[in-house]
């Protein structure tokens, strides 16, 4: 008579997953005629840690964390640069529209913050060992 023994590790974890929430924020700042300051700056942050920087002087999205640089390729950064260049142009148009409406001829600035909650699921695997 052959027996079969099933050992299950993590019995209480069957069909469960743990969720981790992270915060992704982008800060966009546009200005006009501010000496020694870029007209547009964008900063991306995850959980309060800066991950990307872009400004109108360099016109390049630059990773600020080693893990971002290791997990992304040149195409990603070219795309990110293109997106932020588009945002820079939109902000410039916005400031050019706002200045005359508020009789503003000199320094003008604006800022937008976008927050995107990220939910990462880390599913727990069920480990089974069959012994015959």
Kindly report, residue by residue over 2-17, the tens digit of the pLDDT: 544 443 444 444 445 5
Note whether residue 111 is domain-resident: yes
Note whether residue 15 is domain-resident: no
* pLDDT tens profile 103-114: 777 776 667 776
The domain in which residue 103 lies consists of 31-126
Note whether residue 7 is domain-resident: no
Tokens 């992704």 sit on residue: 24
**Domain count of the fold of the chain:** 1
Q: Which of 31, 90, 87, 32 is nearest to 54 (CA)?
A: 87
pTM: 0.69
Note whether residue 91 is domain-resident: yes
Note whether residue 104 is domain-resident: yes
CATH no. for residue 111?
Answer: 3.30.500.10
CA distance 64 to 55: 13
Average pLDDT over residues 23-35: 87
Note whether residue 107 is domain-resident: yes
């Amino acid at each position: 008579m052959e027996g079969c023994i099933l050992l299950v590790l993590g019995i209480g974890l069957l069909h469960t997953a743990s969720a981790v929430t992270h915060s992704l924020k982008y800060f966009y700042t546009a200005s006009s005629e501010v000496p020694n300051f870029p007209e547009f700056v964008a900063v991306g942050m995850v959980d309060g840690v800066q991950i990307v920087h872009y400004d109108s002087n360099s016109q390049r999205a630059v990773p600020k964390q080693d893990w971002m640089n290791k997990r992304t390729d040149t195409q990603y950064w070219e795309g990110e640069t293109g997106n932020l260049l588009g945002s820079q142009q939109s902000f410039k148009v916005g400031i050019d529209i706002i200045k005359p409406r508020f009789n503003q001829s000199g320094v003008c600035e604006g800022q937008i913050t976008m927050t995107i909650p990220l939910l990462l699921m880390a599913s727990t695997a069920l480990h089974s060992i069959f012994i015959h």
